[in-house]
Structure 1
């Protein structure tokens, strides 16, 4: 389900912003999406409510990626650090309320009261928070430079790389279809990158040609 995020990203751009992509881009996304499906083949199980909530989460994920890009590249043009400054307190309050509602906060308080919060645990929590902060900064900045659709493609690629790391580090066993799916995703990501680079190159050439025509139409300048 997570691998279909590029589809919802395209739909959001198309219906809300009127943006379209080239046919080559659409075709290049097919192996990126199907490859992840093959990489996880044989591990499918779900309930109706689970499927619905997962689908809703995918739509929200695509919407978050698109809106983050629009905030950083649109009329606001906010930098990544300012977005974090504005959003992190809200996210912290939301997480705290959810922890209280689920009983996690009381369990953590009891764990601290038992003296389990040692300096090593505190350092681990601080390090985890620092890594999360750096991840958010790099993610927002990459979204601003590369675009929302590219971010969703990278997310699919990350899923396959996670499985590869699991094979290397934890001796995770995968089947032939799973290995083929990872390969298909890697190839699809490479094709998508090539298509996007060619598209951006054509846009730059068109912009330069337009500027040259404008200068030629303006005639010689008199100082």
Structure 2
């Protein structure tokens, strides 16, 4: 007779042999990465435009979390996913996971005020290396030499592409470095929550995270004085056009979160951090095309290095997956295997 817990859990928490879906093809993974690039670039450009008229970054993050909550609720009511019965320990894990997301945003914004933008970008470009360190030390994962080598132009290219004034204070350097580590840790934990013991779907993970993120960003906005500024803005400057722009901004953020979680689950944390570096370069390329941004020869070299390094990394990962042997585990029927 099944236990009470097994009766309440949905099918995707069953044994891995029964619940594991078929392996995603490389083409599917690259498609998800391409969609991730599209949403990420769209939100980055749109955020810059919105913040020019609505200078409240933490409130804007709260709007993203609110739209995520509403969007996931709609999908839940339509039956697109079910809620997993979690233990008290698992709920606490998700709470700390939400704190990691909020702290990562806070550290990034605070450090940006203490260092120059070029220095901030080059340190954040080291996120793939922090990701490798977390996996090697925390999960004893082994990477091939070519994986390490292919990451060098990805990181160095961002440095060349953003070359400029590298001024920083001591506390600014520490916080920027901490922000890069937290960004890597957030990406790794996102992958583990979806592929480890919890095995939460992207929509369920976002549904559980969004209300917590909303509460935390509102608290932070209160202590930084943003809420008071928003009250004044709503009373004097908010128009229907701006309201619709904020709503569209939140809808794009919801789409990005779903795509980001899904791409992370299908491709892995290290690939996502490399993709984030390539996204920085693509943002610069778009700025050159649409905003006539002037670049130096060194900036151009950096763009080529990062894009080429990203393609090289993808090739290395593809070859590693093709060469990885398939291990067939014999069924344990109590009979010793023949030698």
Structure-1-length-normalised TM-score? 0.90
Deviates more, 1:15-24 or 1:36-45: 36-45
Q: CA deviation at 1:16?
A: 0.7
Q: CA deviation at 1:214?
A: 6.0
Runs of 4+ in 1 over 2 A off after TM superposition: none
Aligned to 1:6: 128
Q: Normalized per residue, which structure has more helix?
A: 1
Aligned to 1:178: 299
Aligned to 2:268: 147
Q: CA deviation at 1:117?
A: 2.3
Q: What do residues 72-118 of structure 1 show as CA deviations (whole Å, max 9, x unaligned)?
A: 1111111111111111111111110111111110111122222x322
1:193 to 299, 314, 324: 314
2:146 to 18, 21, 24: 24
Question: Could you tell me how far apart the structure 2 residues matched to 1:179 and 1:80 are?
Answer: 37
Aligned to 1:111: 233
Structure-2-length-normalised TM-score? 0.60
- Unpaired segments of 5 or more residues in structure 1? none
Aligned to 1:129: 250
* Larger RCO (CA under 8 A, 6+ residues apart): 1
2:218 corresponds to 1:96: yes
Question: Could you tell me how far apart the structure 2 residues matched to 1:191 and 1:7 are?
Answer: 16
Where 2:125 maps in the other structure, the secondary structure is helix
Question: Could you tell me how far apart the structure 1 residues matched to 2:161 and 2:238 are?
Answer: 39
Aligned to 2:76: none
Aligned to 2:88: none
2:185 corresponds to 1:63: yes
Q: CA deviation at 1:51?
A: 1.3
Q: CA deviation at 1:20?
A: 1.3
Q: CA deviation at 1:24?
A: 1.0
Question: Could you tell me how far apart the structure 1 residues matched to 2:292 and 2:283 are?
Answer: 13
Question: Could you tell me how far apart the structure 1 residues matched to 2:149 and 2:128 are?
Answer: 12
Question: Could you tell me how far apart the structure 1 residues matched to 2:275 and 2:127 are?
Answer: 11
Question: Could you tell me how far apart the structure 2 residues matched to 1:76 and 1:139 are?
Answer: 18
Where 2:204 maps in the other structure, the secondary structure is helix
Question: Could you tell me how far apart the structure 2 residues matched to 1:55 and 1:139 are?
Answer: 23
Number of equivalences: 212
2:156 corresponds to 1:34: yes
Alignment RMSD (CA, Å): 1.8
